[in-house]
Amino acid sequence: MKILFVGDCSNLHNCLAQQLRKMGHDAVVASHGSFWMNTGRDIDLARGDGRLGTVAFLWKLLKALPRMRGYDIVQLASPGFVELRPEKIRLIFDYLRKYNRKVVLSALKTDVVYHQACHDGHTYRYSDYMVGDLPSPYALSAEYRANHEDNWTLPIMLEHSDYVMNRVDGVISCLWEYHEAYRQRVAPERLAYGGIPIDTDSLTLRPLAEEPRRVRLFIGIQRDRTVVKGTDRLLEAARRCCDRHPRECELEVVENVPYSEYTQRMRASHVILDQLYSYTPATNAMIAMAQGLVAVSGAEPEFYEFIGETQNHPIVNVNPCVEGDIDEKLEYIIAHKHRLPQWSRESREFVLKHNSAQVVARRSLDFWQRMLG
């Protein structure tokens, strides 16, 4: 098959494309490289700053369009798959539909559909925007009110979302949260779960043969997403834990480093703290688990039931609705650090079974074949 990925998020499309090539398919990625992560791509769609940056970007995009024709499948990273205003994105979208066989949507980050599900009062118990019946810390933040509050509710955004949704051939999700949001909007035959692909071949298990003397905690900071992902609260809890147990645990914090450096920096740690307002472990947690780290993240019963996993539950679930829950879970890990070698192996086994690039590629191929008829 010939597959074109347009846009990317946290290396998802690039990782999947690399695996598809190993399986004999022709896969091309056109993206901005997930901004500062600088992930791999075949067609660079990074946009510079200012007027000159815009002009250069438009010229770059126009030159790239002839290379974005003749594919069996075009998979878009959300309705906003390039950094343009909706009316300009629509022109690119129509071009891709005209000159390729099928166009599908990858539900892999915040968009209108997910944002609406977060606010409908029944899809989730908590989310990036709501915790129970109350706004989340992010929804109350000055940054959100100043820069993002209207992003997903403006008429132009709603119209653009509907335009894309009504014309794509299908939707494939990477997380339970996104799948649940789209399940309410998309017919079952047009919707599939792909998952987050992890290159487990390049992320080898770092064996932990015995109980460590000190538990090494690791947290990665995305400077502009600290509050929305709950990293601020996770970081505070990790620091409190280290203050209480200076001889038994230590903390490494990395901020806005490229993807390749990020994966290397975490290797010496035992536990990663990643995403508080999530029902499921996402990319950072999965990368860490593939290397044998224990993930403190989201892992609600809905997630395990969704993927059909009844035995291996290695993620330490933290609940943002429960006061002191993060501290309690970290205390449990410190008190039971003799179990870290076992938890480490189970974490790797979980990713191999559910999120290896091979597994996600097979799910994606099955879905695309179905769309192609």
175 and 154 inside one domain: yes
In a domain, 204, yes or no: no
Are 252 and 269 in contact by the 8 Å Cβ rule? The answer is: yes
Q: Which residue's structure tokens are 């709603």?
A: 158
Q: What is the pLDDT along the chain (373 residues), one digit of tens a residue?
A: 999 999 999 899 999 999 999 999 999 999 988 776 778 899 999 888 888 888 988 999 999 999 999 999 999 999 999 989 999 999 999 999 999 999 999 999 999 999 999 999 999 999 999 999 999 999 999 888 887 878 899 999 999 999 999 999 999 999 999 999 999 999 999 999 999 999 999 998 988 888 999 999 999 887 777 888 999 999 999 999 999 999 999 999 998 887 778 888 898 899 999 999 999 999 999 999 999 999 999 999 999 999 999 999 999 999 999 999 999 999 999 999 999 999 999 999 999 999 999 999 999 999 999 999 9
**CA angle, 101 as apex, 88 and 181 as ends, to 5°?**
65
313 and 259 inside one domain = yes
CATH for 337: 3.40.50.2000
- pLDDT score of 160: 97
∠ CA 80-84-86, nearest 5°, is: 60
* Cα–Cα distance measured from residue 11 to residue 222, given in angstroms and rounded to the nearest whole number: 15
For residues 254 and 308, membership in a common domain is answered with yes
Record the tokens describing residue 24, joined without a space.
């004999």
For residue 140, being part of any structural domain is answered with yes
Same domain, 260 and 327: yes
Which of 264, 266, 273, 268 lies closest to 240 in space, CA to CA?
A: 273
> Is 205 contained in some domain?
no
The reported pLDDT for the residue numbered 264 is 85
Return the residue matching tokens 């789209």. Answer: 182
> Whole-angstrom Cα distance, residue 121 to residue 112?
16
Contact 219, 273 (CB under 8 A): yes
Distance CA 260, CA 147 (A): 30
Q: Which regions of 274-350 does DSSP assign to beta strands (E)?
A: 294-297, 316-317
Task: Identify the pLDDT of residue 32.
Answer: 87
Tokens of 352: 């191999």
Give the pLDDT confidence score for residue 66 in this predicted structure: 96
Domain annotation covers residue 300? yes
Kindly state whether residues 228 and 108 are assigned to the same domain. no
C-beta separation of 73 from 4 below 8 A: yes
What is the length of the chain? Answer: 373
Does a structural domain hold residue 341? yes
pLDDT score at 20: 98
Q: Would you give the DSSP letter of residue 180?
A: H
Claim to verify: residue 110 and residue 129 sit in the same structural domain: yes
* 240 in the same domain as 145: no
Q: Are residues 188 and 325 in the same domain?
A: no
Identify the pLDDT of residue 336. Answer: 96
Spatial separation of the C-alpha atoms in residues 260 and 257, rounded to whole Å: 8
Three-state DSSP string of 28-70: EEEECCCHHHCCCCCEECCCCCHHHHHHHHHHHHHHHHHHHCC
CB-based contact 258:37 (threshold 8 Å): yes
- The verdict on residue 108 lying in a domain is yes
Q: Are residues 364 and 310 in the same domain?
A: no
Is the distance from CB of 191 to CB of 173 less than 8 angstroms? yes
The domain in which residue 365 lies consists of 2-197+357-372
Residue 112 lies in a domain: yes
Asked whether residue 193 falls in the same domain as residue 63, the answer is yes
Residues 7 and 140 reside in one and the same domain: yes
Q: Is 106 helix (H, G, I), strand (E, B) or coil?
A: strand
10 Å CB burial of residue 25 (0-12, 13-18, 19+) is middle
The C-alpha atoms of residue 343 and residue 326 are separated, in whole angstroms, by 18
The span from the CA of 11 to the CA of 203, in Å, is: 14
Both 67 and 150 in one domain: the answer is yes
34 neighbors 57 (Cβ within 8 angstroms): no
Could you tell me which of 97, 106, 88 has the C-alpha nearest to residue 8?
Answer: 106
Measure Cα distances from 189 to 13, 249, 254 in Å: 22, 49, 42
Q: Provide the domain count of the chain.
A: 2
Q: Is 207 within the bounds of a domain?
A: no
